Amino acid sequence: MTTHSDSRTEERASLRNAIDQTDANLVRTLVERRRLAEALGALKAGDGALVRDMDRERAVLDRAIALGREEGLDEAFVEKLFQLVIDDSLRRQRAGLDARVRTATLNEAKVAYLGGPGSYSQFAADAHFAGRYSAVMPVIQREFAGIFEAVEKGEADYGFAPIENTTTGGIVEVYDLLRDTKLKIAGEHHYKVEHCIVGKAHDLGTVRTVLGHPQALRQSQRFFARHPELKTRAVSSSTEALNEALTGKPDIAAVAGRDAARLFGLNVIDSHASDHPENYTRFVALAIDPEPASPLLPCKTSLVIVTSDAAGSLVSALDGFRKEGVSLTKLESRPIAGKPWQQMFFLDLDGHEEHPNVARALETLQGHAVSVHSFGSYGSDRLEPARRGGA
């Protein structure tokens, strides 16, 4: 005899199965939309049209919100969902037009980065090169200098290095290596970092020592200030920290991401180790003289400049960007080795070197700077989302 409880259990199972089927259909629809967007992107590139069309994006949002409203869906939910869909479309189109190494037949990219399995660099590199190549072949390095050397010696097609973080700022070692390299920037990737304390233990009460890369420990200082009983120890990479947490005693833990804990079979002991919830690291892909990005992309251009000691020389050098309406997204000074108290400046600007206004601004810069070195133009990773028409 079927009981009321059995009937309710069967009903729940049936509904869950229907939800699973609906989810599968939703994923297939998203895949089909991505395919159509990529085909449209190829047509636009063939016609010389810009990848981004803000009016079209606003029209897509307005139509989706109107349809959702008719079906009783929350407008903010629909807008957020479709902004994510549009962002994915732009990323996929950018993958085919971004700067890349000149080997036309390259399917698998050899990428040099810090650490190994479970490192933030691994997850960021996999995300960045997805859509560009069929696979990433890691060329593991233990220090930042090794990343640059691997590319310069031809051991890797790309280097992939963190350059700045929204919590701790610019990564000095990488900027110093950029100062002397002949490599160009072939792309950027902003990776959201969510530091966790991971290990064999199930709670912090049994943890005594936490290992992590120096940057990870710096970005978790408030957490460790709240837990003075925990000793910290810096290691060369998150991978090394994870390995020690895996093979050592249960009182050893690591600062790493949730995905890394899953990869190593470790517990997430505390998921709130980051000083700030919105913690992003910007990575740059480096290559020897890559093919430049298409001017049809929303692009960034990176430079390092040296100005004279004359009063107002930096202001004069940068004035062309103001006159031409070119936005500077970064201006960072670094000392010049061997020349005490003299500075060089790293600049990031919105736009491609071939865009007329950028070219004119760079001409003004050349006229006032002692030296200008360009790292090239490449696709912007962070794009301001389109807003609804009239919003």
Residue among 156, 195, 193, 161 nearest 178 (CA):
161
- Return the structure tokens found at 170: 């610019």
Q: Which of 281, 301, 307, 364 is catalytic?
A: 281
Active-site residue identified among 144, 224, 264, 283: 283
Q: Output the pTM of the full model.
A: 0.84
Angle between helices 54-70 and 75-97 (to 10 degrees): 150
Query: Pairing state of beta strands 169-170 and 328-336?
Result: unpaired
Amino acid letter, residue 221? Q
283 is catalytic: yes
Q: Which residues, in sequence order, are CB contacts of 248 under 8 Å at separation 6+?
A: none
Task: Note whether 349 and 329 are within 8 A (CB).
Answer: yes
From first to last of the 391 residues of the chain, give the pLDDT tens digit. Answer: 566 677 888 889 999 999 999 999 999 999 999 888 888 878 877 777 888 888 888 999 999 999 999 999 999 999 999 998 988 888 888 777 888 888 766 789 999 999 889 999 999 999 999 888 989 999 999 899 999 999 999 999 999 999 999 988 999 999 999 988 999 999 999 999 999 999 999 999 999 999 999 999 999 999 999 999 999 999 989 999 999 999 999 999 999 999 999 999 999 999 999 999 899 999 999 999 998 898 888 999 999 999 887 888 889 999 999 999 999 999 999 888 778 878 889 999 999 999 999 999 999 999 989 999 999 999 998 877 777 654 4
CA distance 186 to 180: 17
**Residue 130: its pLDDT value, please?**
87
Q: Let me know if 181 is a catalytic residue.
A: no
- Taking alpha carbons only, the member of 236, 243, 283 closest to residue 263 is 243
pLDDT of residue 343: 86
Determine contact, residues 197/210, Cβ cutoff 8 Å. Answer: yes
Residue 88, phi then psi, degrees to nearest 5: -65, -40
pLDDT of amino acid 386? 72
In the chain, beta strands by DSSP E: 108-114, 135-141, 158-165, 169-170, 184-192, 196-199, 209-212, 231-234, 252-256, 267-270, 280-287, 299-307, 328-336, 339-350, 369-379
Give residue 250's pLDDT: 93
- pLDDT of res. 389: 59
